[in-house]
Amino acid sequence: MTKSKKPDKPSQLKNKDALSIAATPGHQAVLKTNDIVAEQASAIDALVGTVPYNSNKALEYGHDNALAPLPGATAEPRSIALTASTATEDTGTAKTGSAVRPGTNPTVASLNRVRVDASDRPLTTNQGVRISDNQNSLKAGLRGPSLLEDFILREKITHFDHERIPERIVHARGSGAHGYFKAYDALGKYTRAAPFAEEGKITPVFVRFSTVAGERGSKDTARDVRGFAVKFYSDEGNWDLVGNNMPVFFIQDAMKFPDLVHAVKPEPHHGMPQAASAHDTFWDFVSLMPESTHMLMWLMSDRALPRSYRMMQGFGVHTFRLVNEEGQSIFCKFHWKPRQGTHALLWDEAVKISGADPDFHRRDLWEAIESGEFPEWELGLQLFTEEQAAGFSFDVLDATKLIPEELVPVTPVGLMVLNRNPDNFFAETEQVAFCTAHIIPGIDFSNDPLLAGRIHSYVDTQISRLGGANFHEIPINSPLASVQNNQRDGMHRQALNRGRVAYEPNSLAGGCPFQAGASQSAVSQAGNGGFMSFPDRVSEDKVRGKPEKFAEHYLQATLFFNSQTAVEKAHITDAFRFELSKVAVPAIRSRMLSSLVNVCPDLAAEVAAGLGMDLPDAMPKAILEPQLPEVTASAALSMMALPGECGIRTRQVAILIEEGIQYSSLLSLYDALTEAGAVVHFVGPRIGIFTCASSEKIEADRSLENSPAVLFDAAVLPDGNEAVRALAANKHTSGFIKDLYRHCKTILALGDGRELLDIAGVGPGVDENEGILMADNSSLAAIVPDFIHAVAAHRHPSRDPATKAEAS
């Protein structure tokens, strides 16, 4: 299969000209951050400023006023975009539709039918009755008792009391976005699935990213697996590709899924720890389930601490089938590759970010899309036959195993772009219902026993969470394809089915709706034939058990560890040591160490030393002489293999400022960084306006107090003796610079700014370290490309303490 030319990258919102120099009333031109959200925030502030106080407040009191309440005060925005939920409202698909018309509440077609805008409209009850007074309940006299007949109060309070639904048992903490998938080529040779039907075909999607273990209010940066679920609104129905950012899982059979989740959730006797696997019950369980070992290597790696949802891979985990129009089948595994590259946080960063901004990943995704920096992933397929699968040293139905790319390469087949934020978090991100059972013609299941349980579990969960079997009628879940079925009634039913017939076959409705059949029908309304399960021949005993190849538990864990760079191996070692140090029962720690001996004796020894324990003997294996692996190291398993294609686009760069900074050097640097796509923030000891040595103005949109260094990818230390002295005296500056250095991020010191490195204790000799750059006015232009290149590298491992320790 040949790969066609990639679709052109969507045009980005060019905000530099609009934001870099902004005139403000009463001030000269002010250099501001290049955040397009700041422009909208400024306009919103102007709108809000037209309502300095509640002019009707004084009229809420007294008998005469109670009889003649006035309409609420309004202010006219200069653009309807100012009152939108998202700046991407105009970026629509066939599912999201276009921007809402002011003051309308459409009830048909795309999501516009439920997108409500209140411009120039009075408040009403749920029944459309206008509310004359929304400030007071109905009372018998001004000081009398409230009356039971106040249906407006009762409706308002009753709805409020029922605003929450049960959260997901797993994947409760999530963020979502709309977008589209564009196929590179027609894949009719392999599948009749609608998204791959022709070159360039566009299919709307909604994607939800999530953590797994934590509750809905937990932090984004926990060490955890990340969910990566994609809903394709295809013209032959909805297809949900429900996966993770890791290609394997902890268990082999769905029978063990409740046990796994019960083990990793907060311990039931005291409800701790939240969103963490570092506790006794989890490690007790996995140390008794050696098939979990491969997944544990991924969980202890940097993959469990992504820098951004936009910078992590996605995997379908299971083996699926593709089926073409002739009924021929081929096995398939799904891979999502981010164009931003795969990048991670350090553990120390993740811990500090969780305190500074628990919504770090949610905010990152939202702000990138709002500013027009639309995240992109390439979908790739590993395609292989049943005959090939039978010859592998592992079983492709085992979800604890992956297929090395050296064995089966990944073929790129299309590009996914997320280009629109949701209007309402609850209605879309919280109510979206994914299910592995949601497949379309051309996609089918394998006999993976973990997948079989998920096919049932997800539907059952949504029925519980979303109030009944009609969750598919919630707008975010409803397909674009026509729905015609004989289902009726139930909680929250919205479809108004005409006629008397709710069964098949029938004659009272002329036989409709009728079954589609297996192939193209002569009846024009039928279109293509219906879904047909692949006729996989089954002739086995009915048993409870696992295939023999499932018994090998360690070779791919060793493959993963051997495929990591030195610094990645050090981070895995550190993670095991930290997690097991939280385990209170020594016997559980010892049992887990005995399992790690089977992965890598050196790894187990380092972890044991870090725990002050003797290294135990290796845990007995379930199979003594497994088939030798085809691949013993795979570069594709290291995050370093995917540095990305986007340079410093969306990278957050902090420029420290104070009174008296040198303006000229910052202006040229600012222009270069924004031109390359970075998001520049001016960070001062406070927010607001600062005056440069040459009298120009710069506005700080962040402060050293509210935005610590862990929220940025790189930083610039300014020139200017007066500014440097003031920054050196600030209690936050030294810690800010130390964290930048400790986390191996790029630092550029301009002129006098290099003194701040010494004050922070980072120097001397710091200029010999990778990722630390120095410049003055005469050399700045020459060093800017080096700075941009260094920021694009994400991090400089040669400064990582783990690497230095290994080198010594």
> Could you tell me which residues are beta bridge partners of residue 684?
703
Q: Rounded to an integer, what distance in angstroms lies between the CA atom of residue 42 and that of residue 15?
A: 14
Joined tokens for residue 589: 């720690």
Q: Rounded to an integer, what distance in angstroms lies between the CA atom of residue 728 and that of residue 138?
A: 61
Neighbours of 212 (CB within 10 A): 20
Q: Rounded to an integer, what distance in angstroms lies between the CA atom of residue 439 and that of residue 511?
A: 26
CB 225 within 8 A of CB 212: yes
Cα–Cα distance list, 715 to 255, 414, 769, 771, 788 (Å): 50, 36, 15, 11, 11
Cα–Cα distance list, 160 to 157, 471, 598 (Å): 5, 21, 55
Backbone angles phi, psi at 117, to 5 degrees: -130, 135
Joined tokens for residue 74: 């309004």
Neighbours of 72 (CB within 10 A): 13
Active site residue 171: yes
CB 561 within 8 A of CB 637: no
Amino acid at 196: F
Q: 517: which residues sit within 8 A by CB, 6+ positions away? A: 526, 529, 530
Amino acid at 738: K
Active-site hit among 112, 244, 419, 470: 244
Backbone angles phi, psi at 332, to 5 degrees: -150, 145
Q: Rounded to an integer, what distance in angstroms lies between the CA atom of residue 130 and that of residue 150?
A: 14
Cα–Cα distance list, 410 to 239, 249, 334, 700 (Å): 21, 20, 9, 46
Strand order in the sheet with 746-750: 702-703, 679-684, 652-656, 714-717, 746-750, 772-775
CB 239 within 8 A of CB 322: no
Cα–Cα distance list, 586 to 280, 282, 539, 601, 611 (Å): 10, 14, 47, 19, 10
Q: Which residues of 339-358 are buried (b: 16+ CB within 10 A; e: fewer)?
A: bbbbbbbbbebbbbbbeebb
Q: Rounded to an integer, what distance in angstroms lies between the CA atom of residue 744 and that of residue 417?
A: 30
Active-site hit among 171, 178, 361, 472: 171
* CA-based torsion, 250, 252, 253, 254: positive or negative: positive
Q: Rounded to an integer, what distance in angstroms lies between the CA atom of residue 445 and that of residue 592?
A: 34
Neighbours of 3 (CB within 10 A): 13
Active site residue 477: no
Q: Rounded to an integer, what distance in angstroms lies between the CA atom of residue 530 and that of residue 569?
A: 49
Q: Which residues of 289-311 are buried (b: 16+ CB within 10 A; e: fewer)?
A: bbbbbbbbbbbbbbbbbbbbbbb
Q: What is the 3-state secondary structure (H, E, C) of 783-799?
A: HHHHHHHHHHCCCCHHH
The catalytic site residues sit at 171, 244
